Amino acid sequence: MVNTTIKTTKSQEVFAAAQNLMPGGVSSPVRAFKSVGGQPIVFERVKGAYIWDVDGNKYIDYVGTWGPAICGHAHPEVIAALHEALEKGTSFGAPSVLENVLAEMVIDAVPSIEMVRFVNSGTEACMGVLRLMRAFTNRDKIIKFEGCYHGHADTFLVKAGSGVATLGLPDSPGVPKAATSTTLTAPFNDLEAVKALFEENRDEIAGVILEPVVGNAGFIAPDAGFLEGLRELTHEYGALLVFDEVMTGFRIAYGGAQEKFGVTPDLTTLGKVIGGGLPVGAYGGRRDIMSMVAPAGPVYQAGTLSGNPLAMTAGIKTLELLQKPGTYESLEQITKKLADGLQQIAKETGHAACGGQISAMFGLFFTSGPVHNYEDAKKSDTAKFGRFHRGMLEHGVYLAPSQFEAGFTSFAHTEEDIEQTLAVARDVMSSL
């Protein structure tokens, strides 16, 4: 083995105490290790491609705080910008120049966005966009895809991905039937199913929302023609197309999946990377639709801390760093090396596995595949993934604690980090 097995005594103590204080000992369910066994490690600090736990162990990190850390954790320029902003105060609750700056950057980058509204999380962005879709079209129903996650609002908790998939919750108690009666679902990559829903619900469907590249059911890429097909169908049936790019925005490409695949939706949600590690979400799109949002229009949505100066500052600096020439090429190169390497090692060590990668987002399923949708993903050997996860963790590699989550790299990850990760993976897979 490349490393010696780690000691996590302090992590265990802190987590044991946390379980009395917070449900499940965590502030968000995906952080628990329920589906991989064992206990979460408790973090002390993060820097670049690495994290350190409270016992002093160092790990190469492929979670990247679930997406935001694309420049690497605690990038010195982001931290310096935050120090400067901090001196001017932590919240204004009033307009600031910083909002204009980040808004212009987002509008310049993301093809569909002509106007933007900042919020505090991806969940909030998806809630806002949902109300807007319905208001603009005067229709209530929406189509979402099995295994896609759009935050934890009632309407979206139907066949949702991420923690809902990880924990095997079909949906959640406390969600009234009325809230999900307007949610129609289809398998990802299945245009025929979407067309059938449009036919059965003529003039009733406000729009289609999706992760253009799925990350919350594990990594699943769109089949050739799928996004284009959705664009055509939504046009044909007078519905809106919404890309939830909370995960893919500024990660798949600077302009998100819509830039990468050349398909422009009507509305887009963002989060994660645009906050640079602080709480930010955003939704935006066509000017005629966004003009309906209050106070320009009648669709109400508000937030005490929205457009927060610290969050705007971290977002602006992060996007500036991403604009440096060659960033996405190097992200692609590093991540391809990792994803290809993992599949190759799985093959050589006799495991059925498949996976993929686009830019700085990757996945590995313990099933022979191919995986086109959540049903396919669910054929994975999750017990084997659990053993793999534990083995990697014990040898200094931190992966998302679920088969149904994507992995993330950053431009802080070096070739050596990838090589070390693959060496560990070879050892672990050899003894799975």
Ligand X SMILES: *Cc1c(COP(=O)(O)O)cnc(C)c1O
- Confirm whether 244 is a catalytic residue: yes
Q: How far is the CB of 287 from ligand X (least distance, A)?
A: 23
Q: Got the DSSP string for 224-262? A: TTHHHHHHHHHHHTT-EEEEE-TTTBTTTBTTHHHHHHT
Catalytic hit among 272, 317, 337, 378:
272
- Confirm whether 376 is a catalytic residue: no
315 touches ligand X by CB under 6 A: no
Q: How far is the CB of 271 from ligand X (least distance, A)?
A: 5
218 touches ligand X by CB under 6 A: no
Contact pick of 40, 215, 255, 285 for ligand X (by CB under 6 A): 215
Size of the site for ligand X (CB under 6 A): 15
Contact pick of 112, 216, 264, 359 for ligand X (by CB under 6 A): 216
- Confirm whether 149 is a catalytic residue: yes
Q: How far is the CB of 247 from ligand X (least distance, A)?
A: 4
Selected range binding ligand X among 47-55, 145-153, 222-230, 347-355, rule: CB under 6 A: 145-153
Give the integer Cα–Cα distance in Å for 57 and 63.
16
Site for ligand X in 147-206 (CB under 6 A): 149-151
Amino acid 96 reads S
User: Residue 194 corresponds to which tokens in the numbers above?
Assistant: 């979407």
Catalytic hit among 53, 244, 266, 417:
244
358 touches ligand X by CB under 6 A: no
Question: Of all helices (H) and strands (E), which one includes residue 206?
Answer: strand 205-210
- Residue span 273-302 as binding mask against ligand X, x where in contact by CB under 6 A, dash where not: --------x---------------------
Report long-range pairs for 163-168 (Cβ below 8 Å, ≥24 apart).
163/28, 163/29, 163/30, 165/216, 165/217, 165/374, 165/402, 165/404, 166/29, 166/30, 166/34, 166/35, 166/402, 166/403, 166/404, 166/405, 167/29, 167/34, 167/35
Helical spans, DSSP H, in 160-223: 163-166, 177-180, 191-200
CA nearest neighbour of 404 among 184, 212, 164, 210: 164
Nearer to ligand X, 242 or 353 (CB): 242
Report the chain's C-alpha Rg in angstroms: 21
271 touches ligand X by CB under 6 A: yes
Site for ligand X in 105-134 (CB under 6 A): 121-123, 126
247 touches ligand X by CB under 6 A: yes
Query: What is the binding site for ligand X (CB under 6 A)?
Result: 121-123, 126, 149-151, 211, 215-216, 244, 246-247, 271, 281
Catalytic residues, which ones? 149, 244, 272
